[in-house]
Amino acid sequence: MHNVDADPLDRLAEWHAAGKKTALATVIKTWGSSPRPVGSHLAVSEDGDFAGSVSGGCIEGSVIEAALATIASGQPVQLEFGVTNDMAWEVGIACGGKVQVYVESIS
């Protein structure tokens, strides 16, 4: 049985081995009741496939978009999501927490 928590890095390795461009998003800071702890990973392939999570599903869409941009540009970015963020109305975290996510490409 596969370790669910190790899945993002395993999938990232598979995509990378298949010659696909990939990005890795990592929760680097949390405030309040955010659903996933610091260090949680979301892996994204150039095809838009993804594995893992950086929240309970609330902000994954935005993070995947940012990851695809990072794959294209090669530039890492920092994202912040939370109740005080303008984005909150679109994708904010239902539980009221705040998270900071670092997105980098694997090159």
Partner 1 sequence: MKADLFEALKLNIAAHKACAVVTDIETGSQSFIGADTRIGDLTLKEEQLSVVNQLIVGDVSGQIDGMSLFVRVYGPSLRLIIVGAVHIAQALAPMAQLAGFKVTVIDPREAFVRAGRLSEVEALTDWPDEGMRKLQPDSRTAVVTLTHDPKLDDPALAAALRSKAFYIGSLGSNRTHAKRLARLTEDGFSERDLDRIHGPVGLDIKAETPSEIAVSILGEIVATRRRSVT
By the criterion CB under 8 A, which residues form the site for partner 1? 1-6, 9, 12-13, 16, 24, 26, 28-29, 38-39, 75-76, 78, 102, 104-107
Closer residue to partner 1 (CB): 2 or 86: 2
CA–CA dist 66, 73 (Å, integer): 10
Alpha-carbon distance of 96 to 5, in angstroms, equals 24
Q: What's the min distance (Å) between Cβ of 89 and partner 1?
A: 26
Closest CA to 70 of 45, 100, 39: 45
User: Closest CB to partner 1 among 3 and 18?
Assistant: 3
